[in-house]
Amino acid sequence: MSSESPDMRVADATDRNWVDRHAPRAARPYLRLSRADRPAGTWLLLIPCFWALALATAASGTWDARTVWYAVASALGAFLMRGAGCTWNDLADREFDAAVARTRSRPLPSGQVTPRGAAIWLVVQTAIAGTILLTFPLPAIAMGLASLIPVAIYPFAKRFTWWPQVFLGLAFNWGALLLWVAVRGTMEAPAILLYLAGIAWTLFYDTIYAHQDKEDDALIGVKSTARLFGTATPRWLMIFLIVSVTLAALAVVLALVDAPPLRMVIALAGVWGFGLHLWWQMRHLDIDDTGMCLHLFRSNRDAGLILAGALALAAVIPA
């Protein structure tokens, strides 16, 4: 049992989360390993799926029961694959996590779960997610399988590059490509632009997140954009903000150029709202306040949902 978390809760778990309150006691260590007690990451994996699903549907001009299933399947898949990815990440990083104050209460370094148990749990989550993926069209299944490459690489990126957040972005935004292909049947420019917009967004929010651990990371030799940028972080965040908003706007324009004008107006309003939320985060950022960094990181769920909501509204506007 961790001396810092006598009740076995993870240090940065959300208050009154459902895992620590309602999950069966035997399941809690595995759900904590999957970050089910910290849902922000699941949202950040899911939202690019929603972006692409809504924009592709708006471009096609029709939505049906299949569209609804893609939304449900994306939510289930995001929960499972985020859990699988976190399990893989914690297996690879268990020695690093034991040396960092914020992460040493996680299930592996604290001894709640054994490496063998974590490996089995990884296989279970991946297998269930794979079963859901099989309900998608064949090109989308191929995209889903390809996503395992950046997922596998990400935990090791912090060992060889100052830009591990790029690898996180490659993995976390893959759903934008997958869902576009599921709806449209082929890869198109708007999907690639959305994907790149998501990567820039990931660089924005995960740099903020990484500032929580910069001192411990420096001691153990872990690289991050937070350590690389230091006091220049606000300037870099502004670059990521501008790139993300610009690419998202270009994706909307290319996708909806032949759609009813109101669809594009609503979608671009969503891009504007997304950008304003990122600007609000910058206005409140204090890179030396770990509590504020965590709060702002979590608030990116709302930023992403602003754009997702606008794109979904655009998708249901009649022709």
Maximum distance among all Cα pairs of the chain, rounded to whole angstroms: 61
Within its chain, how far is the Cα of 166 from the centroid? 12
Q: 18-316 — its CATH code?
A: 1.10.357.140
Tell me the CB-side half-sphere exposure of residue 221, using CA atoms within 13 A. 4
85-89, 104-108, 260-264: range with lowest mean pLDDT: 104-108
What contacts 35, CB < 8 A, 6 or more positions away?
41, 42, 82, 83, 86
88-97, 152-161, 266-275, 298-307: range with lowest mean pLDDT: 88-97
Q: If we measure between CA atoms, which residue out of 195, 308, 259 comes closest to residue 62?
A: 259
Q: Where are the domains of the chain?
A: 18-316
108-130: per-residue pLDDT in tens? Answer: 887 888 999 999 999 999 999 99
How crowded is residue 295: how many other Cβ atoms within 10 Å of its Cβ?
Answer: 13
Instruction: Work out the percent of the chain whose per-residue pLDDT is above 90.
Output: 71
Output the pLDDT for position 7.
Answer: 55
161-178: per-residue pLDDT in tens? Answer: 999 999 999 999 999 999
Q: Which of residues 33 and 178 earns the better pLDDT score?
A: 178
Phi, psi at residue 161, to the nearest 5°? -145, 150
174-190: per-residue pLDDT in tens? Answer: 999 999 999 999 999 99
- DSSP letter for 13, please: P
